Amino acid sequence: MAPHALLIPLPAQGHINPMMQLAWKLVSHGFLITFLNSDSTHNRIHKANTLNSFFDNIRMISAPFEFPPLDSLEGIENRIESLIKGLGPSVIDKVIQEINAREEENKVTCIIADVWMCFGLQAVATLHELPLAAFHTALVSLFAIRYFSAHLVSLGILHSDGIPKEDKKTKYLPCMPALHSGDLPWLWAGEYMFRKGIRMGEEIKDIKWVLFNSFIEIEAPVVETLSKEVGVYPIGPLIPPEFLIDSRTSTKVLPSFRKTDTDCLQWLDKQCAHSVIYISFGSTGILSEKQLEELALGLEATQRPFLWVVRSDLMKGSEANLPVGFLEQVRDRGCIVSWAPQLEVLSHPSIACFVTHCGWNSVQESITMGVPMLCWPYFADQFLNRAYVVDVWKLGLPLNANSQGIIKQGEIVKGVEILQESEQGLEIREEAKKLKIIARDAVKDGGSSWNNFNLFVTAMKRQPNE
């Protein structure tokens, strides 16, 4: 009987992608996968992608629950609560019962759920006598700062609602880089997110396997500290193996919510090596009209080729409104798409640097492809990720906003020029080359993530009575 894992992602692009990459990896180790979404997320993925293109041995199923993907942050508190109920323990229990009743030969043998989907799930796993693993799609450091945040309250560093007492750059945990007080990952959604993070830590503490899409080498002190409390298993970067050998194409399709524009790859083929600026704000980044204008004018002023992902909802309130004459001005050196095949793009030899919102997947993909970054975070863990990129790994530069919160065109031009032309830029590019190798080594035979993944797979393949 093949091991059969039930995978439960959080329905957000930055969570579904690494969960699917985990699914591929498990399939290559002989697993059968059931990948569970809400109805609306499932339908949206199938609308944007060719049906049956995911992989043999991966069954995409949905629970009868209307929950549109989390690509807008409006009303996040109510939406997360309704998700935790709508795809909560009783629904998962029913899904397992239905699969097991249908599949005499392929009953579910383990559950792997996004950390956001683990609330109350241990009881269901125990009921069905299944091992449960939690999957954290971002840095271990993000989990660690949430985990220890109640302690920071007791030390008097944070108020009881998670707001820092002092407005200054602080080393909140001795094992982590200093963060500005405004950079703490829960502040964007207030006390709700702070309390939820603490609850998550309590819940996950009792789960034996917590898999992280990160690798030990980039945050070893945090892994060491948190491992004393929680079963920490970094298994990343979860990038399909074909991209790790620079073949740059894959037969696998990520379950994106939007149609991918692959024509930009032919456009990239025509550009010079290390010349193109790639700009993307992930699945949820939003710019004001003024900010969009400054970015467009900044790109125009660089005089360099660029590939820019302008999602239909990139601008707050309406379709992205590019400055008059901009498209005409950049016609010969600009390529604009609504959704890019990002892994193919980042691994393309024409790419010089990545202007990124610092979503963890984007950062890790950039590290694995050796691409230096210009950091433009706007919420959640993106500031923490920037601190690592800029201060710890030295793989990029921050793009700084002015007193009105706008990143001006001159700042963009300056960032690109430093990266491309200066001694400091050369050092950053050298660091990017080194970390690319370390990232790839982590998932190679005998690497740190390879070891963790094999420990996990071996344990999941063991029959309950062995």
**Element (DSSP H or E) covering residue 352:** strand 351-356
Q: Kind and range of the H or E element at 234? A: strand 232-234
* Interface stretch with ligand UDP, choices 12-20, 52-60, 84-92, 112-120 (CB under 6 A): 12-20
Query: Which residue in the shown chain puts its C-beta closest to ligand UDP?
Result: 14
Does position 360 bind ligand UDP by CB under 6 A?
Answer: yes
Helix axes 423-443, 448-461, angle to 10 degrees: 30
Site for ligand UDP contains 31 (CB under 6 A): no
- The contact pattern for ligand UDP, residues 221-260, with x = CB under 6 A and - = no contact, is -----------------------------------x----
Least distance (Å) from ligand UDP to the CB of residue 68? 15
Taking the complex as a whole, the smallest distance from the CB of residue 315 to ligand UDP amounts, in Å, to 16
Would you give the DSSP letter of residue 208? S
Of 225 and 368, which has the nearer Cβ to ligand UDP? 368
- The angle formed by the CA atoms of residues 423, 428 and 429, to the nearest 5 degrees, is 95
Using the contact rule CB under 6 A, the part of the chain among 41-49, 75-83, 84-92, 278-286 near ligand UDP is: 278-286
Query: Is residue 114 a contact residue for ligand UDP (CB under 6 A)?
Result: no
Segment interacting with ligand UDP, rule: CB under 6 A, options 7-15, 100-108, 112-120, 451-459:
7-15
The answer to whether residue 280 forms part of the interface with ligand UDP (CB under 6 A) is yes
Which residues on adjacent β-strands are paired with residue 8? Answer: 113
- Which residue stretch of 6-14, 116-124, 128-136, 176-184 sits at the interface with ligand UDP (rule: CB under 6 A)? 6-14
Pairing of β 373-375 and β 396-398:
parallel
Integer-rounded Cα Rg, in Å, for the chain is 22
Interaction between residue 296 and ligand UDP (CB under 6 A): no
The verdict on 11 binding ligand UDP (CB under 6 A) reads: no
Which of these ranges, 29-37, 172-180, 266-274, 277-285, lies near ligand UDP under the rule CB under 6 A? 277-285
Phi and psi, residue 179, nearest 5°: -125, 150
* Whole-number Å distance between alpha carbons of 370 and 322: 30
Nearer residue to ligand UDP within complex by CB, 21 or 109: 21
Binding of residue 141 to ligand UDP (CB under 6 A): no
Q: Could you give the 3-state DSSP secondary structure of residue 374?
A: strand
Q: Is 342 in the site for ligand UDP (CB under 6 A)?
A: yes
How many angstroms separate the CA atoms of 364 and 387, rounded? Answer: 14
Q: Which stretch binds ligand UDP (CB under 6 A): 56-64, 145-153, 241-249, 359-367?
A: 359-367
DSSP H helices, 115-251, are 121-127, 140-147, 149-154, 190-205, 220-227, 241-244
Are the C-beta atoms of 117 and 84 separated by less than 8 Å? yes
287 beta partners:
315
In the complex with ligand UDP, which residue's Cβ is closer, 3 or 14?
14
Number of residues that bind ligand UDP (CB under 6 A): 19
The least distance separating ligand UDP from the CB of residue 100, rounded to whole angstroms, comes to: 32
Whether omega for the bond prior to residue 241 falls within 30 degrees of 0, making it cis, is: no
Query: Which sign, positive or negative, has the C-alpha torsion 395, 177, 10, 82?
Result: negative
Q: What are phi and psi of 186, to 5 degrees?
A: -95, -10
Binding interface with ligand UDP (CB under 6 A)? 12-14, 17, 256, 280, 282-284, 309, 339-340, 342-343, 359-362, 365
